[in-house]
Amino acid sequence: MVAFFYILRLRSGNLYPGVTTDLDRRYLEHCAGSACRTTRLDPPEAIAYSEEHETFPAARRHEAQVKLWSRAKKEALVAGDRDILRHLAKSHNDREPHVNSSHAPRERTQKRQGP
């Protein structure tokens, strides 16, 4: 079954990614405010980007990947700027790993058992 990954540009300027098997119907649902809370509160201005996938799970995987992207990377996808997409992907992959001290192993201390 064919499925679509899409990105809506909302009235606020935010981007909203989603997946559907019927792009026109889903867009009308978003415009009517019946698709989800996000687009009920911040209606769509337009379908900024869409992409056809052979299966719904493939479209869903793409959506999950894009939801993790920065706004700049999503905007590059919408604009069709493959050079910026490659640059943003490369700059992300070339970064030094971030060490978060809250996730560093803690030194264990043993409690003393009475005298």
Mean pLDDT, 10 residues at a time, over the chain (115 residues)? 96 97 97 95 97 97 96 95 87 52 46 51
CA 69 to chain centroid, in Å, comes to 6
Question: What is residue 21's predicted lDDT score, i.e. its pLDDT?
Answer: 97
| Topology annotation, domain 3-85 | GIY-YIG endonuclease (3.40.1440)
Where do the H-state alpha helices sit in the chain?
A: 23-32, 37-41, 56-67, 71-79, 82-93
pLDDT per position as a tens digit, 88-114: 887 665 555 444 444 444 444 454 555
- Spell out the residues 6+ positions from residue 37 whose beta carbon is closer than 8 angstroms to its own: none
Domain residue spans of the chain: 3-85
Asked whether the beta carbons of 41 and 25 are under 8 A apart, the reply is no
Question: What is residue 92's predicted lDDT score, i.e. its pLDDT?
Answer: 60
Question: What is residue 10's predicted lDDT score, i.e. its pLDDT?
Answer: 97
Question: What is residue 89's predicted lDDT score, i.e. its pLDDT?
Answer: 82
